[in-house]
Amino acid sequence: MRIRKAAVVGAGAMGGGIAYLFSAAGIPVTVKDVLPQQLDLAREHLKRVYQRRVDRGRLDADTMQESLERVSYALDYAAFGEVDLVIEAVPEDMRVKARVFRELGGVCPPHAILASNTSALSISEMGKASGRPQHVLGMHFFNPAHVMKLVEIIPGSATKDEVVNAVRALARRLGKEPVVVRECPGFLVNRVLMPYLNEAAICLQEGAASVPEVDAALGPDGFGWPMGPFTLMDMLGLDVCHHILAYLDAQYGERAQEAAVLRRLVGACRLGQKAGGGFYDHPGHARSEEVDRIVRELQASGQVDSPGSTFSVDRLVLALVNEAFLCLEEGIASGEEIDKACVAGLGMAVRLGGERVPMGPLTYAEHVGLEEVLGRLLHLERTLGRRFRPASVLTLEVAPGAESAAGDRGAGEAQC
């Protein structure tokens, strides 16, 4: 099915970025929100992105005008009777999303595809709410949506193959690289990213390293990521990271337990760049005295598991690598697709010989050596806890038969 008209529900940063992609690809799009001021923000966001392209000589002013005219803004569903596809991009609250999907099921034509840009929540549940689960799937974009190349496509339990194929073709038309992912909490990329970001926050609260130290060690001049984990969390929104982590915590337990400092910062309304402060003070990206004070308070109140622990790049990167092996083990995606998704969705790269080389987590593990990775994970598990317990597939790959020994050892530690 070819998509001729589209709509986006939710005019936040992601909704605005997605509307830009449709308009730039020549597809008329309606952006709907319940708040007029959100629609104004989305209008400004689109203009800014187009204007930058004109200023850089990548687009002429007439094309910008035509593209902007392809976008309409609405406070109701009047235009939805003619759409071929809708992307929901409202806040990460299943009650809100279920209501939107119920409404979409009532107003969209029977053939329309209903997609969610959710970061982690159940597609099948949204499908049920819509009353037409065969037409519902996840279409997950990455922030900034107009820049990052990846689109995760997540079929729900009832999604028809032709719907998946249509959305895969649409993603390519929007200039993206689609990767189809089996449904699980957090899907693929957030599932591997969040333990990495959370470990950065754990290092901070344990006094292992400061915010700028962690970012310098992981960023472009350090490990090789395009930006450090705290800069990334400030860009994504600490509230967004908190919602995803709280959900993963509820779904996966122990190994995804959210760092207390993240919760405290969200409670203090330090939500990141958009709020003028997160892990850094903004604008200016300066080290924050308030964050340092909150860390000291957490340590003094005994809410930190391993105060005075040692920082290492491995703590963050191997948390991500291990989760990638768990995704491989569960068949969430193939090894090749896991690597492709992390490079296209997160810009993952490794600094080698002075160059940043794009590389996904499984190739990185091969590069380090699987035996070495297993050894380092076992050391982290012994010193920092069971969240680092190596994936079975890694243990079996290195030493078939070693899994039961590792299991015995883990059980022993839990009893001590």
Active site amino acids: 140
By CB under 6 A, residue 338 contacts ligand CAA: no
Question: For residues 228 and 215, is the Cβ–Cβ distance under 8 A?
Answer: yes
By CB under 6 A, residue 358 contacts ligand CAA: no
How many of the chain's residues bind ligand CAA (CB under 6 A)? 21
Of 143, 288, 306, 312, the residue at the interface with ligand CAA (CB under 6 A) is: 143
Please identify, among the stretches 165-173, 292-300, 315-323, 343-351, the one whose residues bind ligand CAA according to the rule CB under 6 A: 343-351
By CB under 6 A, residue 240 contacts ligand CAA: yes
For 117, residues 6+ apart whose C-beta sits below 8 A from its C-beta are: 10, 14, 15, 18, 87, 88, 89, 138, 139, 140, 141
- Measured from the CB atom, the residue of 77 and 141 that comes closer to ligand CAA is 141
Q: How far is CA 416 from CA 253, 375, 382, in A?
A: 20, 22, 12
Of 28, 212, 222, 226, the residue at the interface with ligand CAA (CB under 6 A) is: 226
* Interacting residues with ligand CAA between 4 and 43 (CB under 6 A): none
**AA identity, residue 98:** A
Q: Which residues pair with 287 in a beta bridge?
A: 280
Please identify, among the stretches 39-47, 163-171, 340-348, 364-372, the one whose residues bind ligand CAA according to the rule CB under 6 A: 340-348
By CB under 6 A, residue 58 contacts ligand CAA: no
Binding flags for ligand CAA, 260-279, as an x/- string (CB under 6 A) = -------------x------
Of 81, 131, 144, 375, the residue at the interface with ligand CAA (CB under 6 A) is: 144
The DSSP secondary-structure symbol of 259 reads P
Please identify, among the stretches 233-241, 253-261, 311-319, 364-372, the one whose residues bind ligand CAA according to the rule CB under 6 A: 233-241
Smallest Cα–Cα separation from 105: which of 117, 119, 88, 92? Answer: 88
Give the helix/strand (H/E) hosting 7.
strand 6-9
- Measured from the CB atom, the residue of 263 and 379 that comes closer to ligand CAA is 263
By CB under 6 A, residue 147 contacts ligand CAA: yes
Give the helix/strand (H/E) hosting 30.
strand 29-32
By CB under 6 A, residue 385 contacts ligand CAA: no
Of 142, 223, 325, 388, the residue at the interface with ligand CAA (CB under 6 A) is: 142
Instruction: Tokens for 122, please give them.
Output: 């159940």
Binding flags for ligand CAA, 82-101, as an x/- string (CB under 6 A) = --------------------
Instruction: Tokens for 330, please give them.
Output: 């569960």
Please identify, among the stretches 29-37, 145-153, 252-260, 295-303, the one whose residues bind ligand CAA according to the rule CB under 6 A: 145-153
Q: What's the distance, CA 410 to chain centroid?
A: 30
Full DSSP string of 144-171? STTT--EEEEEE-TT--HHHHHHHHHHH
Helix, strand, coil proportions of the chain in percent (round to 5)?
55, 10, 30
* Interacting residues with ligand CAA between 192 and 221 (CB under 6 A): 193
Of 148, 153, 174, 338, the residue at the interface with ligand CAA (CB under 6 A) is: 148
CA Rg, the chain, in Å?
22
Of 21, 108, 192, 232, the residue at the interface with ligand CAA (CB under 6 A) is: 232
- Measured from the CB atom, the residue of 190 and 210 that comes closer to ligand CAA is 190
Of 4, 52, 99, 386, the residue at the interface with ligand CAA (CB under 6 A) is: 52
Q: Which residues pair with 140 in a beta bridge?
A: 152
Question: For residues 71 and 19, is the Cβ–Cβ distance under 8 A?
Answer: yes
Alpha helices in 268-401 (DSSP H): 289-300, 313-329, 335-346, 361-368, 370-384, 392-398
Smallest Cα–Cα separation from 362: which of 397, 332, 324? Answer: 324
Instruction: Tokens for 24, please give them.
Output: 């730039």
By CB under 6 A, residue 347 contacts ligand CAA: yes
Question: Using CB under 6 A as the criterion, which residues of the chain lie in contact with ligand CAA when the complex forms?
Answer: 49, 52, 119, 142-144, 146-148, 190, 193, 226-227, 232, 235-236, 240, 273, 345-347
